[in-house]
Amino acid sequence: MAMEQVSVFIENKPGRLAEILRYLAQQSIDLRAYSFAETSDFGIMRMLVREPDAALAALKRGGYTARKNDVLGLLVADETGSTVEAFRLLGEAGVNVEYTYAFAQGGGRDAFILLRVDDNAKAEKVLQEAGIQLVNGQNF
């Protein structure tokens, strides 16, 4: 039930984030969620979009270095400590979490947790067996 995420490398200079966001909008790429992490020289923008293949192709046409990979999406209650159990279970199962980003849905009911792990199949099995709700591109 993994979702495809698109990552794009961006030079870490003033205005570059606005540039990529403008380009994506001009290409009619609908961002559902994104995260931006940086080093001193470059940044990586990770995003969930409605059409990952189209986004990847558009970015490459625009001269950007981009790629796709799979991430898992969890839906949890928007309350303190709601993610502890999922991450405890993954750790006990030997699944390494490489990175994660999250956001709460309006109204304070649900939160979405997006995570990249080293073994999607194992992580999915562990989480599903524990009754933790996974989301995919259709219900995200």
Instruction: Give 84-138 pLDDT, tens digit per residue.
Output: 999 999 999 999 999 999 888 767 688 889 999 999 999 999 999 999 999 986 6
Average pLDDT (43-54) is 92
Contact 29, 55 (CB under 8 A): yes
Give start-end residues of each CATH 3.30.2130.10 domain in the chain: 3-69
Burial class (CB in 10 A: 0-12, 13-18, 19+), 91: exposed
- CATH topology classification for 3-69: VC0802-like (3.30.2130)
Instruction: Give 50-95 pLDDT, tens digit per residue.
Output: 899 999 999 999 999 999 999 999 998 888 888 899 999 999 999 9
In this prediction, residue 139 carries a pLDDT of 58
Q: Among 99, 86, 92, which Cα is nearest to 36's? A: 99
Phi-psi region of 55 (alpha: psi -120 to 50; beta: other; left: phi over 0): alpha
**Was domain 71-135 assigned CATH 3.30.70.260?**
yes
Both structure tokens of 90: 């993954």
Give start-end residues of each CATH 3.30.70.260 domain in the chain: 71-135
